[in-house]
Amino acid sequence: MTSARFTPLALHDLKEIRDFIAKDKSGIASQYMAMLKRKCELLANTPGLGVQREEYCMLYKFPVDSYLIFYRPSQEDIDVISILHGSRDIDSLFNAQR
């Protein structure tokens, strides 16, 4: 069975998402985190879902609600690189990391 490995950046993103949601809906925050992690496991079991983007270092981009999961398939698993809100300036964030 394949699995999703989370980079430190992705774990940081998840914490920020949880904290943001918990400000208004504390009971929903942990449920939302579980849903995002399930989506990552789905991607691990079906690598190639989403769109591979050259401008994002050839990462795959997969939308979940208002968020975008950026990941890279490996031989057996996937590496979740980042999870960002779709309203962010994604291009600037990726260009800053190059």
pLDDT tens-digit readout, 19-47: 999 998 888 998 999 999 999 999 999 88
**Per residue, what are the HEC states of 19-86?**
HHHHHHCHHHHHHHHHHHHHHHHHHHHCCCCCEEEHHHCCEEEEEECCEEEEEEECCCCEEEEEEEEC
Mean per-residue pLDDT, 61-74: 93
Mean pLDDT taken over the chain = 88
Whole-angstrom distance, CA of residue 81 vs CA of residue 65: 18
Q: What is the pTM of this model?
A: 0.88
Q: Are β-strands 67-73 and 78-85 bridged in parallel, bridged antiparallel, or unpaired?
A: antiparallel
What residues does 53 pair with on adjacent strands? 59
Enumerate domains of the chain plus CATH numbers: 4-97 (3.30.2310.20)
Token output for 29: 């925050």
